[in-house]
Chains A and B, each alone.
Chain A
Amino acid sequence: MVARVDPGVRVKPHENIHLALDPQRLHFFDAKTEAAI
């Protein structure tokens, strides 16, 4: 999964982090038809 985050943020390999999802920008798709819900 790819995240695009603030350019000022510094993260290092193996660093433990929390990623937050913007709840207003989530998408759900039907697993069979793949149509957006």
Chain B
Amino acid sequence: MADVSIRALNKKYDNGFHAVKDVNLEIRDKEFLVLVGPSGCGKTTTLRMVAGLEEITSGEIRIGEEVVNDLPPMDRNIAMVFQNYALYPHKTVFDNMAFGLQMRGYPKDEVKKRVQEAAEILGIEPLLERKPRQLSGGQRQRVAVGRAIVRHPEVFLFDEPLSNLDAKLRVQMRVELKRLHERLETTAIYVTHDQVEAMTLGDRVVVMKDGRVQQVGEPLELYGRPANRFVAGFIGSPAMNFVEVSISGSGDALWAETQGLRVRVPQGFSGKVQSGQRLTLGVRPEALRLANGADEHTFATAVDVSSRSATRSCSTSAPAACRWWRASIPACG
């Protein structure tokens, strides 16, 4: 068990690309921390630097009490699970899981005991004599996780481990990984581009963009109090709506306006918002409801499209400032 400390971490490649910029993170012992962001945001590079697979340009990485900047991956007491499983095709499941321990010189009995334990935890005991090609995607991923478990590492590192699975299996494996973490209580750092996965798995979530940390917080904190427009738009599905507005009025009676939309600025923003300012108003889809009539928090519009899939959705003719409005109506709550 260990906490992980990342201080002023930078990665700059020879071609000048600055992939990770001044990242500071304190990952608590036993915590499940998720790094999330769009492609190229620096999340995988950060993880690979923790693993020792990528050299750091500057900064410090500490696992437990030890600074690991110059330690090779095998000496960091971490175990990594990759997106592509990285299984040896010619080895059986047992041998894939045992290989890392055998290379470290563990006694045969200990290797067998650890592999059996991990196989039991993951429900893959009947698969131990099979080769990877004889396994489904989900089974292969379990083996990859098993190979990490047998190491009894201080920290698990997951690099988009569920990305190659179909949607149904991905959801199932998410639950399994969460259960596994609760059982093993090992610090975990998990990288994904999928915000739903991040919000489901993470004790805390780190949102990254362009190599920088945008916000660190518990899932509901990111959803309810996003630090900036990027986080607000990235977290939540369907995504938050944004409208450019001007602030008018005076004192406590301030209004956010654009053509076709005029809403009263809530009291909570008094002193932070002034008349004449141009701001971006953010509204989550679930913060909108159909109203019976007009008041200071309503606006008129017309439905453009109504559709039903997992959700039923409608789009409407818009206030002139917006091209169109769309209302998504969940079929099942």
Q: Which residues of A contact B (CB under 8 A)?
A: 1-7, 9, 11-31, 33-37
A-contact bits for B138-158, CB 8 A (1 contact / 0 none): 000000000000000000000
CA distance A16 to B300 in the complex (A): 7
- Tally inter-chain residue pairs, CB-CB below 8 A: 179
Q: Which residues of B contact A7 (CB under 8 A)?
A: 312, 329-333
List 21 contacting pairs A-B, 8 Å CB cutoff, sorted by A: A1-B243, A1-B283, A2-B238, A3-B289, A5-B290, A5-B327, A6-B289, A11-B303, A13-B306, A16-B301, A16-B302, A17-B290, A18-B298, A19-B327, A20-B291, A21-B287, A27-B226, A28-B279, A29-B232, A31-B279, A34-B229
Q: Which residues of B contact A (CB under 8 A)?
A: 225-230, 232, 238-244, 256, 263-266, 268-269, 272-273, 278-295, 297-306, 311-318, 322, 324-333
Q: Which residues of A contact B305 (CB under 8 A)?
A: 13
Contact of B288 among A4, A12, A13, A37 (CB under 8 A): A4
Q: Which residues of B contact A1 (CB under 8 A)?
A: 241, 243, 283, 288, 318, 322, 324-326
Whether B290 and A19, one on each chain, are in contact in the complex, defined by CB atoms closer than 8 angstroms, is yes
Q: Which residues of A contact B328 (CB under 8 A)?
A: 2-5
CA distance A17 to B301 in the complex (A): 5
Q: Which residue of A lies closest to B241 (CB)?
A: A1
Q: Which residues of A contact B303 (CB under 8 A)?
A: 11-15, 17
With A3-B288, A20-B298 as contacts: A13 and B304 at CB distance below 8 Å: yes
Q: Which residues of A contact B244 (CB under 8 A)?
A: 31
Whether A26 and B292, one on each chain, are in contact in the complex, defined by CB atoms closer than 8 angstroms, is no
CA distance A30 to B266 in the complex (A): 16
Q: Which residues of A contact B326 (CB under 8 A)?
A: 1-3
Q: Which residues of B contact A25 (CB under 8 A)?
A: 283-284, 287
Q: Which residues of A contact B289 (CB under 8 A)?
A: 3, 5-6, 19-20, 22
Closest 8 pairs between A and B when the two form their complex, measured CB to CB: A27-B282, A3-B288, A20-B291, A25-B287, A3-B327, A34-B229, A1-B241, A4-B285
Contact of B280 among A2, A15, A23, A34 (CB under 8 A): A34
Whether A5 and B287, one on each chain, are in contact in the complex, defined by CB atoms closer than 8 angstroms, is no
Most chain B beta carbons < 10 A, residue from A3, A18, A36: A3
CA distance A9 to B238 in the complex (A): 18
Q: Which residues of A contact B241 (CB under 8 A)?
A: 1-2
Whether B314 and A19, one on each chain, are in contact in the complex, defined by CB atoms closer than 8 angstroms, is no
CA distance A17 to B289 in the complex (A): 10
Q: Which residues of B contact A13 (CB under 8 A)?
A: 303-306, 314-315
Q: Which residue of A lies closest to B287 (CB)?
A: A25
Q: Which residues of A contact B238 (CB under 8 A)?
A: 2, 4
Q: Which residues of A contact B240 (CB under 8 A)?
A: 27
Q: Which residues of A contact B301 (CB under 8 A)?
A: 16-19
What is the minimal beta-carbon distance from A5 to any residue of chain B, in angstroms?
5
Whether B290 and A20, one on each chain, are in contact in the complex, defined by CB atoms closer than 8 angstroms, is yes
Whether B280 and A26, one on each chain, are in contact in the complex, defined by CB atoms closer than 8 angstroms, is no
CA distance A18 to B284 in the complex (A): 16
Whether B269 and A37, one on each chain, are in contact in the complex, defined by CB atoms closer than 8 angstroms, is yes
CA distance A21 to B307 in the complex (A): 22
Q: Which residue of A lies closest to B267 (CB)?
A: A23
Contact of A18 among B264, B294, B317 (CB under 8 A): B294
CA distance A16 to B230 in the complex (A): 32
